[in-house]
Amino acid sequence: MDLAKIGATEKGGVCRLALTQLDKEARDLIVRWATELGCTVRIDKIGNIVARRPGTNPELSPVMTGSHIDTQPTGGKFDGNYGVLAGLEVLRTLNDHGLRTIAPVEVVVWTSEEGSRFVPVMMGSGVASGAFSLEYALSREDSDQISVEDALKSIGYQGCVEPSYSPKAYFEAHIEQGPVLETAACTVGVVTGALGQRWYNVKVQGQEAHAGPTPMNLRRDALLVAADLVKGVNQIATGSSTNARGTVGCMSVFPNSRNVIPGQVAMTVDLRADSAELLDLLDTQFRKLCSECELPVEVEQVVHFAPQPFDSFLVDSVRRKSADLGYPSMDLLSGAGHDAVYLASVAPTAMIFVPCEGGISHNEIENASPKDLEAGANVLLQMIIEAAAVDDA
Amino acid sequence: MDLAKIGATEKGGVCRLALTQLDKEARDLIVRWATELGCTVRIDKIGNIVARRPGTNPELSPVMTGSHIDTQPTGGKFDGNYGVLAGLEVLRTLNDHGLRTIAPVEVVVWTSEEGSRFVPVMMGSGVASGAFSLEYALSREDSDQISVEDALKSIGYQGCVEPSYSPKAYFEAHIEQGPVLETAACTVGVVTGALGQRWYNVKVQGQEAHAGPTPMNLRRDALLVAADLVKGVNQIATGSSTNARGTVGCMSVFPNSRNVIPGQVAMTVDLRADSAELLDLLDTQFRKLCSECELPVEVEQVVHFAPQPFDSFLVDSVRRKSADLGYPSMDLLSGAGHDAVYLASVAPTAMIFVPCEGGISHNEIENASPKDLEAGANVLLQMIIEAAAVDDA
């Protein structure tokens, strides 16, 4: 709640875009809390913050946990922030109990996860896992042509450490951002992996014409074809698998005049699936749908993330720890991207989901109960104790 | 072509919004041409310009013809302008042949037909026919809060004549603004009346949610319901009659983000039909469609024009004159609103349509052939000669 004061909105949410002055204030607070817990803090060249609690064997790779503290423009208090604060709470608990771990434990704040100000999304973890280069990330610009590098420098968070990571294990606690756990009355989501994603820009080309004098049979109505695509995308996903998603999120109509038949529609399509085969099938069906329309439809794929399974041993461990602690849990897939999805390509990775109210997130009314947040942190604590191993010496 | 230079756009169209400096320049040109033809010109309180060629019996009501010279922001050279210039050409031809008519002949420029700057549309003819009051019209404001009255004064076109009209007959020549005549290879459209119109604002209320974590079966996707409505509106009109129209012209999606399931969609619906019974049926079917949606749908009717048949004697006369002159003609309905539709409530009225290229209008590429435009003017000449009666004395 203290962190959520920085960038707090009237409706109870948070607006704290990446690498702004508010992001700096929030980063300063995390660094202060970590330092007070006895951690050393380092900043890498893309601005990721790593707070380290030493292990008894400094030669070992660290066990890492964390998430992000940038938000959507009308974001909530919990998305990302919970994962960072749960990590700090684990360190505090280890301190309170005087537990020393053999491997070091690190809590990380990844730079610019949301993509609201800079794209690509998940920038800090993307560089950390080698998904794209540091130079590429630093040169990205916001809508005011301010580069990531300039923004990092202006808030004093471009460090000199190389952004290269290969932890022993990576964990991330996060609100679910969907309604599944709440609907099933489960406290912990055992995340078996992340859906793959294909994003497209789609354009339907018709002919604008006056809505009155143009008979129905002589029309080339771009919105009518776009409506077929909206329904088709939904049907492709609904008919394929419970682990498929199909969404049209953006649509713009030209000329968008009450008495003019739309001549052009631009829209986005977002397809997701839990296996590469299913994602390819959705892609094929979607492209077939577009090619069979009565008007020309242009399709451009703009994003492709392969499905990413998490480490099966660690996933099973989350399942067992939840049961040991008495929390009802269920397996689910992450439909959204997370820093953990990138980390999974360089380290054994698992995520712990907790319910959020009504499944609502990326919204100022985003909410989660203290009880559920505590449960997720307790599972995280047990995962870290297991992975970093308590030194009984 | 000279008139089209005033407000000419790079793409060959015209941008000459009502009551702007460009409208003033165009009005000045029309007044000059009318004066050169020997007309007296009067301006009424809503800025309608009336050029009068006297008849031999000054007691008789005039025969009127005309249209408008304001355009859409990306409008063409012909919409409206053709009707005014065809009227002046008729006067020129009467002069050239030394013909005197018994009734006066008046050519009128109606103020602000397009509705691009001020609403309601067809303002000058709306006041002239008593559809709404002068005071109401004068107090309308554009998006910069400039009132019609102030705009009229600033270009010097608020006259002192009462805007009250009851001509012996009213004719209006106009491009079709649709593809029917071109498709049927007809030169003259015999307009039997105008479709009635009902316009609606529609809002679909869903629940925005993250496109990844939200399974298909737990969604409340406003755009999916909106797509059903787009298809339904089309089907209602297509299935009813060749004289029915159903169009969704505007759509805006909230929050309009690529990876967020749309929580709200606002859209417009435009229904048209040639009889009050059919228009009521479309309305009933449309409201039933909305009430059966899986999400709440708000429907607000914002415009209602009853279908307006034109004068059957005059319509038949247009048919016969076209045949006499050897022009292939066909009956059709005006799908769009025109000043003539208002005039039809106060005087026997007919319209003469000529083809426009590709049926395209409200567009900078709007075009019509000199041959077709001449044909329409010739029919108009014969109609005016018949109605105003040549004085052989």
pLDDT tens, residue by residue, B262-273: 999 999 999 999
Q: Is B362 annotated as a binding residue?
A: yes
A237 to chain B: which residues are within 8 Å by CB?
Answer: 216
What CA–CA distance (Å, rounded) separates B368 from B82? 10
Task: Sort out which chain A residues have CB atoms less than 8 A from B247's CB and list them.
Answer: 211, 221, 259, 261
Contact A13, A32 (CB under 8 A): no
Looking at every residue in chain B, the average pLDDT score rounds to: 96
Contacts of B238 in chain A (CB under 8 A): 216-217
The closest CB to that of B272, out of A183, A212, A363, belongs to A212
Could you give the CA distance from residue A308 to residue B317 in angstroms, rounded to a whole number? 76
Q: Do residues B202 and B229 make contact, with C-beta atoms less than 8 angstroms apart?
A: yes
Q: What's the pLDDT at B393?
A: 74
E strands, B243-320, are: 244-247, 251-254, 260-261, 264-273, 297-305, 308-309
Length of chain A: 393
DSSP B294: S
Q: Measured on CA atoms in the order A335, A339, A345, A348, is the torsion positive or negative? A: negative
* Residue B379: its H or E element: helix B370-388
The sign of the CA dihedral A213, A215, A216, A219 is negative
Distances B341 to A86, B172, B272, B328, B335 between C-alpha atoms, Å: 70, 10, 14, 24, 11
Average pLDDT value for residue range A173-195: 97
Top residue of A247, A301, A351 to mutate, by most chain B CBs within 10 Å, is A247
Q: Give B81-92 pLDDT, tens digit per residue.
A: 999 999 999 999
Q: How far is CA B111 from the centre of its chain?
A: 12
Provide the pLDDT for residue B257.
87
Give the whole-angstrom CA distance, residue B18 versus residue B3. Answer: 15
How many Å apart are CA B137 and CA B163, to the nearest integer?
12
Dihedral over Cα of B271, B275, B278, B279: its sign: positive
Residues 6+ apart with CB under 8 A from A295: A204, A205, A206, A220, A222, A225
Q: Across the interface, do A242 and B215 touch by the CB < 8 Å criterion?
A: yes
Cβ contacts of A284 within 8 Å, gap of 6 or more: none
In this structure, the number of other CB atoms found within 10 A of the CB of residue B168 comes to 18
CB B337, CB B122: distance < 8 Å: yes
DSSP bridge pairs for B147: B141
Which two structure tokens, joined as six digits, stand for B162? 């009462």
Distance CA B85, CA B33 (A): 10
Omega of the bond leading into A255 within 30 degrees of 0 (cis): yes
Do A151 and A142 touch, CB atoms closer than 8 A?
yes
Q: How far apart are CA B199 and CA B269, in angstroms?
A: 6
Which pLDDT belongs to residue B74? Answer: 86
Distance (Å, whole) CA B147 – CA B153: 10
Q: Nearest CA to CA, how far is A269 from chain B (Å)?
A: 7
Looking at residue B250, its pLDDT comes to 95
SS3 B23: helix
For residue A87, what pLDDT band results from cuts at 50, 70 and 90?
A: very high
Instruction: Please report, rounded to a whole number, the percentage of residues in chain B having pLDDT higher than 70.
Output: 100
Confidence of residue A257 (pLDDT cuts 50, 70, 90): confident
Contact check, Cβ <8 Å, B179/A218: yes
Average pLDDT over chain A, rounded to an integer: 96
CB contact under 8 A, A249 and B258: yes
Task: Tokens 């054994």: give the residue.
Answer: A348
For an interface test with A, give the residue of B186, B201, B214 to mutate (most A CBs within 10 A).
B214
Domain range summary for chain B, segments of one domain joined by +: 3-194+308-388, 196-305
Q: Report, as an integer, the average pLDDT of B124-130.
A: 97
Cα–Cα distance measured from residue B207 to residue B216, given in angstroms and rounded to the nearest whole number: 13
In a mutational test of the B interface, the residue from A230, A257, A264 whose CB has the highest number of chain B CBs within 10 Å is A230
CA angle, A280 then A307 then A297, to 5°: 35
Specify the CATH architecture of the domain B3-194+308-388. 3-Layer(aba) Sandwich (3.40)
A30, A88 in Cβ contact below 8 A?
Answer: yes
Residue A70: band (very low, low, confident or very high) from pLDDT cuts 50, 70, 90: very high
CA dist list (Å): B316 to B170, B312, B330 = 15, 6, 11
Residue A392 pLDDT class (50, 70, 90 cuts): confident
The reply to whether residue A228 touches residue B224, judged by beta carbons under 8 angstroms, is no
Taking CA–CA distances from B269, the nearest residue in chain A reads A258
Angle at which helices A81-96 and A21-36 cross, to 10°? 10
- Minimal Cα–Cα distance from B15 to chain A, Å? 16
SS3 track for chain A: CCHHHCCECCCCCECCCCCCHHHHHHHHHHHHHHHHCCCEEEEECCCCEEEEECCCCCCCCCEEEEECCCCCCCECCCCCHHHHHHHHHHHHHHHHCCCCECCCEEEEECCCCCCCCCCCCCHHHHHHCCCCCHHHHHHCECCCCCEHHHHHHHCCCCCCECCCCCCCEEEEEEECCCCHHHHHCCCEEEEEEECEEEEEEEEEECECEECCCCCHHHCECHHHHHHHHHHHHHHHHHHHCCCEEEECCCEEEECCCCCEECCEEEEEEEEEECCHHHHHHHHHHHHHHHHCCCCCEEEEEEEEECCEECCHHHHHHHHHHHHHCCCCEEEEEECCCCHHHHHCCCCCEEEEEECCHHHCCCCCCCCCCHHHHHHHHHHHHHHHHHHHCECCC
* Angle between helices A81-96 and A370-388 in degrees, nearest 10: 60
Beta-sheet pairing, B49-53 with B105-109: antiparallel
Give the Å distances, CA to CA, from A332 to A258, B48, B251: 44, 70, 35
Q: Which fold has domain A196-305?
A: Alpha-Beta Plaits (3.30.70)
**What's the pLDDT band for A362 if we cut at 50, 70, 90?**
confident
Residue A139 has which token pair? 């040169």
Q: Distance (Å) from the C-alpha of residue B363 to the closest C-alpha of chain A?
A: 9
User: Whose structure tokens read 């609904």?
Assistant: A238
Mean pLDDT of A135-155: 97
* Residue pair A176/A355 in contact by the 8 Å Cβ criterion: yes
Partner-chain contact A335 B234, CB within 8 Å:
no
- The C-alpha angle with vertex B217 and arms to B212 and B221, in degrees rounded to 5, equals 70
Query: For the segment A36-54, what is each residue's pLDDT rounded down to a tens digit?
Result: 999 999 999 999 999 999 9
pLDDT (mean) for B247-254: 96
Other Cβ atoms closer than 10 A to A185: 9
Give the minimum alpha-carbon distance from A67 to chain B in angstroms, rounded to a whole number.
Answer: 17
User: b/e string for A308-335 if b means 16 or more Cβ within 10 A?
Assistant: bebbeebbebbbebbeeeebebbebbbb
Structure tokens at B343: 């005039």
At B4, is the secondary structure helix, strand, or coil? helix
How far is residue B237's CA from residue B240's CA, in Å, rounded to a whole number?
5
By Cβ distance, the residue of B249, B251, B337 closest to A260 is B249
**Helix pair B21-36, B81-96: axis angle to 10 deg:** 10
- Nearest by Cα to B7 from B157, B151, B24: B24
Q: Give, as one character, the DSSP assignment of residue B39.
A: -
pLDDT over 90 at A241, yes or no = no
Asked whether residue B79 is marked as a ligand-binding residue, the answer is yes
| Cα nearest neighbour of A333 on chain B | B213
Helix (H/G/I), strand (E/B), else coil: B93 = helix
Read off the pLDDT of each residue in B347-363 and give the average, rounded to a whole number.
Answer: 95
What pLDDT, on the 0 to 100 scale, is given for residue B249? 96
Neighbours of B172 (CB within 10 A): 33
Task: Work out the average pLDDT over A183-207.
Answer: 97
On the question of pLDDT at A393 being above 80, the answer is no
B19, two tokens: 């009551």
What letter does residue B358 receive in the DSSP assignment? G
- B287: helix, strand or coil: helix
